[in-house]
Structure 1
Amino acid sequence: MNASFPIGIFDSGVGGLSVLREIRTAFASEDLLYVADSACVPYGDKSPQFVEARSVAIAEFLVDRKAKAIVVACNTATGAAITTLRSRFSVPIVGIEPAVKPAMGKTASGVVAVLATSGTLSSDKFAKLLARFGGDVDILIQPCAGLVEQVEAGELDGEKARALTAKYLLPLLERGADTIILGCTHYPFLAPLIREIAGPKVSIVDPNAAIAHELRRRLENNDLLSPDPRPGTERFWTSGAPDAVKPVISKLWNADVDVRRLPKRYCRLFGL
């Protein structure tokens, strides 16, 4: 494996750009490949088998593009596919999970809320996470149908996004939650809105910085950190319509980017 090869990152859609942002901050000289599986977004309402198959197909694409490591920038895909991905591919693979353990050290009320998709909250991986770290506090779980779609549309503070966020958040605050875990990579883009509704005394826990830290550990252990001092590049693909996805990625990435169509052979299962 060549240390000059790129790092691959994927998500069901544009939410993983919040992870990509942390990775870019931590790794200025790495080349990054990002795949948004926009034709299948959201993963949260899909079967684990479907999400696993899509994750394998996208990982194949990234490996074919010489990715030296893969970041699964999606909680639902991590729960459904991380074991299979690690058994099928020899490159380091980093997943993501709701930051339950870090939240334990932040709560004063002893009540922690997890905002996530139904797919993440119903996964075996999340159940094991709660069993391991959640015993000392009251953990409230809240599936947030519709929030992913708001981010996918680039609607981060519109009337519908505001109403949905308040609908999910206010009952949790009324039950004493003083710590909110963002259990979906789309949700950091809604963090300013969540902060506005929750108020300054509520802690918001975002696991993305920990993902960049774990990626660095894996790359260092495998001697895969890029030796090239030049600034790294980013390339973007989508399984959806590039013309529709490009404006949203450009908005969230704060730059005008080129978005390519994922080749058809990696789009199996949904007839593209």
Structure 2
Amino acid sequence: MQHKQPIGVFDSGVGGTSIWKEIVHKLPQEDTIYLADIKNAPYGERSKEVILALSIKNTEYLISQGCKIIVVACNTATTNAIDVLRANYAIPFIGIEPAIKPAALASKTKAIGILATKGTLSSALFARTSSLYTTDLNVIEVIGTGLVELIEGGKLHSEELFKLLKSYVQPMMDQNIDYLVLGCSHYPYLIPVLKKILPEHVQIIDSGQAVAKQTERILSENKLLFEGEKEGKHTLFSNASIEVLQALTEDVPVNRSVSFLDF
């Protein structure tokens, strides 16, 4: 039956595992399949046409594996491709985009920072969302060039990453932000480093828990939730090196397999 089928998740690399972990935590009984398109990362530096083609490729593989819903765990793919995916495939899609609304509504200093990829910040969807909530705010947008590559390269705790990240958030601190919105699914892995850089009063917002709640809601509305007692089976694939994907998901040891897949 369809409700027993897996949840599909894809990203340009390992960053979407930050979203995937929230889904596994929220829906521990559900099976999942995760695709890390590492050989084509980062999507944020690619053209809209290439991002769309890659998103379609990932979608069609997950559908071929019987997935009942697909989570586009990539801000860039969401903002550039999800409208086309929803128009062309019958299953539900969950997307992610920078959590601008809660930051904008809660800011006391009326200044928020957004750290995201070029592909997200230049998209029409981001522009629409930003224009709805930030008309009275000072919004400091910074493209996090090079951060995805360092995370994918296993250099999360390197001095190189620390210095690069500080150079990106310093202009935000100079303008007295009190919220920092993370606009890339890789960036939640930067939170421990960011907390060493940012003043204590600056709140960091990412989309992981909200995406997990939305996934549960859409599954429930479509009568696709698996309501048995079993623990989910989690199959993660990379089309390049599997070492970083393995390392970043070791804290989800139950029924988890990580392997290479040429997709």
2:244 matched residue in structure 1: 248
Displacement of 1:171: 1.4
* 3-state SS in 2 of match to 1:3: helix
Q: Does structure 1 retain, via aligned residues, the 8 Å contact 2:7–2:68?
A: yes
- Is it true that 1:198 corresponds to 2:198 in the alignment? yes
Runs of 4+ off more than 6 Å: none
The residue number in structure 2 matching 1:153 is 153
Displacement of 1:132 after TM fit?
Answer: 1.2
Kindly indicate whether residue 73 of structure 2 is the aligned counterpart of residue 43 of structure 1.
Answer: no
- What's the secondary structure of 1:229's corresponding residue? coil
Kindly indicate whether the alpha-carbon contact (under 8 Å) linking 1:42 and 1:148 is maintained by their aligned counterparts in 2: yes
Q: What is the deviation of 1:11?
A: 0.3
Residue 259 of structure 1: aligned partner: 258
Alignment of 1:147-226 (within 5 A): 147-226=147-226
User: Aligned to 2:45, what secondary structure does the other structure show?
Assistant: coil
- Percent of pairs with identical residues: 37
TM superposition shift of 1:134? 1.3
Alignment deviations for residues 177-211 of structure 1 (CA, whole Å, 9 cap, x no partner): 11100000000000010111002110101111110
Deviation, 1:150, is 1.3
Q: Secondary structure at the match of 1:105?
A: helix
Query: TM-score under structure 1 normalisation?
Result: 0.92
- CA–CA separation in structure 1 for the residues paired with 2:92 and 2:158: 39
Q: What is the aligned partner in structure 1 of residue 75 from structure 2?
A: 75
The count of aligned residue pairs is: 260
Note the alpha carbon deviations across 1:215-238, whole angstroms, 9 max, x for none: 111001000001221100110112
SS of 2:102's equivalent in the other structure is helix
Unmatched runs of 5 consecutive residues or more in structure 2: none
Is the Cα contact below 8 Å between 2:234 and 2:257 reproduced in 1?
no
- Structure-1 residue corresponding to 2:55: 55
Deviation at 1:262, TM superposition (A): 3.0
Q: Deviations over 1:81-112 (max 9, x none)?
A: 10111011111100000000011233111000
RMSD value, Cα:
1.3
One-letter amino acid matched to 1:252: L
Listed as ranges, the gaps of 5+ residues in structure 1 are 268-272
- Which letter does structure 2 place at the counterpart of 1:69? I
Q: Residues 113 and 180 of structure 1 are in contact (CA less than 8 Å); yes or no, is this contact kept in structure 2?
A: yes
Q: CA deviation at 1:252?
A: 0.9
Is the CA contact 2:246–2:258 (under 8 Å) kept in the aligned structure 1?
no
Secondary structure, aligned partner of 1:201: coil
One-letter amino acid of the structure 2 residue matched with residue 259 of structure 1: V
